[in-house]
Copies of this chain bind each other. A is one copy, B any other.
């Protein structure tokens, strides 16, 4: 039906006859002539309809915003003075010979140019209109290119694209499973997978050697700002590999992805142990573009006459850390109050600070509500953080977890507020994670998942589980975890030991993933892998503000689709067939509450 996309038109086509199909983006009448900005997925082109071509003119005259037209015409250079160098098609226009109305359009609920004026709810409800915005089309096109590029790279490397089931068994992380009642097995349920983890390990046991899949995953959790109940993973697993193999392949994959899709040469990916990341940045996904670091000062604060500091400094699970901000002495009292409130979100009960006005003057040159308590150590403190005139030093003193979260977040916030970024892209690998973390009840939980291999042997793991490190690795970019993975346990005895340490008894283990434990006995190769969050990767690469911008039909934060009004009610017959009934009638509510 068409000869060219609108966005393809340019000066080289002058005098050629073209056929366009698309939407009326804007319509203007000027000097008895109709100007139509015709839009398709590739761009916008200006069409001029002259009253001389009576039938075309009559049709153009009917056309309103978002009508669907087919236009045949001749390309010509725009007259001097009406050219628009900011538009790819801005040097030319199409003089219409024929205008056909393929479909009419009711007045849209919002004009594309004015989408900012309506709330996200309206746009999600009319998603098919919101997706017409060139920015949205571009983001999803970028997503398609990213998937394509990743696939091409992995297939080149011998990875096979293998599909794993969506209807499967409840996983170990079961609490957040979406369940699906079975009709053929009344009273039984499938679960939607939180990841293809177990299946990809089985594929390694089968000898597929290199597996990948761009896989849908599901998690029924209270949605934080930027999560979706269904999300997409670039899932990778390989056999007869060690950490370096997986890290090498996936780093090369991301590097060439940025090169080919964004024309960006990523810098080197440094390796950083988890402990160092927490110590220096208070985070296991540090944004290295921000040149601020935490400094440990516990040793200095053990004996100060200030319980807020000396308490955590002497506690096993406490931490006192300083965050020096170069030039930060110019922060106003109001700004500091604002940051104090901000760290409160993370549980910090306050935000101590010292402004370094003039170091040469000693204590006199410092401004601070707390410096009086630490006269004996202040010089050493200033030396340690490398304080210079004009700096401010913030402090966190609490349980280590709170200090890390609060100062880690403050560090990022200051980076944004003061625009401290030193680079556009800053990737790294975080490695040497602990195997376990303590939950509230002094029980150990897997920091990653219970199939992650430790870097020690069975005996050491049994005797000192809390100190064990894992063979896990996370790829971090600009403070976002792009992907994480590990070398898995391929040894049955080691897997049993890890389950014992986690307090998962034999019966529970068999119920949850007995088939994996079985598989490990029948000749499992050493193997490992990694999974990237595709949505987040696209979001970073496209500069989107929310994950919803890079998903064609996203859900809201209450896990509803405003467009289709899913989830919805179903008939009692349907429930009866599934052998279930509602516990209580659904409350009157809209899906988009």
A: residues with CB less than 8 A from B are: 1-2, 5, 21-23, 39-41, 66-68, 70, 102-106, 108, 126-129, 131-132, 136-137, 140-141, 143-144, 147-148, 151, 155, 160-170, 174-175, 177-192, 198-199, 202-203, 205-209, 216, 218, 220, 222, 229-230, 232, 239-242, 245, 490-491, 515, 518-519, 521-526, 551-553, 555, 558-561, 563-570, 574-576, 578-587, 589, 591, 593
Known contacts A147-B161, A220-B183, A586-B186; is-contact A131 B208 (Cβ 8 Å)? yes
Task: List, in ascending order, chain B residues with CB within 8 A of A180's CB.
Answer: 178-180, 192, 567
Q: Determine whether the beta carbon of B192 is less than 8 Å from that of A564.
A: no
Known contacts A165-B561, A566-B169; is-contact A206 B155 (Cβ 8 Å)? no
Q: Determine whether the beta carbon of B162 is less than 8 Å from that of A140.
A: yes
Q: Determine whether the beta carbon of A553 is less than 8 Å from that of B165.
A: yes
Give Cα distance in the complex from A21 to B525, angstroms. 9
Contacting residue for A522 out of B128, B183, B207, B240, CB 8 A: B128
List the B residue with the shortest CB-CB distance to A216.
B166
Q: Determine whether the beta carbon of B583 is less than 8 Å from that of A581.
A: yes
Known contacts A103-B525, A519-B128; is-contact A568 B189 (Cβ 8 Å)? yes
Q: Determine whether the beta carbon of A524 is less than 8 Å from that of B68.
A: yes
Q: Determine whether the beta carbon of A230 is less than 8 Å from that of B165.
A: yes
Task: List, in ascending order, chain B residues with CB within 8 A of A178's CB.
Answer: 167, 180, 190
Known contacts A144-B161, A220-B183, A559-B182; is-contact A576 B566 (Cβ 8 Å)? no
Give Cα distance in the complex from A519 to B131, angstroms. 12
List the B residue with the shortest CB-CB distance to A171.
B564
Report 28 cross-chain contacts, Cβ distance below 8 Å, ordered by A residue.
A23-B207, A41-B209, A68-B523, A104-B523, A108-B522, A127-B202, A128-B202, A128-B205, A128-B522, A131-B208, A137-B208, A140-B162, A140-B208, A143-B162, A148-B161, A162-B552, A163-B216, A165-B230, A168-B566, A169-B564, A182-B567, A183-B559, A185-B558, A186-B583, A188-B591, A190-B567, A199-B552, A202-B563
Q: Determine whether the beta carbon of A190 is less than 8 Å from that of B566.
A: yes
Q: Determine whether the beta carbon of A567 is less than 8 Å from that of B68.
A: no
Give Cα distance in the complex from A583 to B230, angstroms. 29
Task: List, in ascending order, chain B residues with CB within 8 A of A553's CB.
Answer: 164-165, 199, 202
Q: How far is the CB of A107 from chain B (nearest CB, A)?
A: 9
Known contacts A229-B167, A552-B163, A591-B188; is-contact A570 B148 (Cβ 8 Å)? no
Q: How far is the CB of A72 from chain B (nearest CB, A)?
A: 13
Task: List, in ascending order, chain B residues with CB within 8 A of A523's CB.
Answer: 23, 66-68, 103-105, 108
Q: Determine whether the beta carbon of B191 is less than 8 Å from that of A566.
A: yes
Q: How far is the CB of A443 from chain B (nearest CB, A)?
A: 19
Task: List, in ascending order, chain B residues with CB within 8 A of A186's CB.
Answer: 583-584, 586-587
Give Cα distance in the complex from A569 to B190, angstroms. 9
Q: How far is the CB of A583 from chain B (nearest CB, A)?
A: 5
Q: How far is the CB of A491 from chain B (nearest CB, A)?
A: 7
Q: Determine whether the beta carbon of B185 is less than 8 Å from that of A586.
A: yes
List the B residue with the shortest CB-CB distance to A66.
B523
4 nearest interchain CB pairs? A187-B586, A105-B523, A131-B206, A188-B567
Task: List, in ascending order, chain B residues with CB within 8 A of A524's CB.
Answer: 68, 103
Give Cα distance in the complex from A388 to B396, angstroms. 100
Give Cα distance in the complex from A252 to B9, angstroms. 28
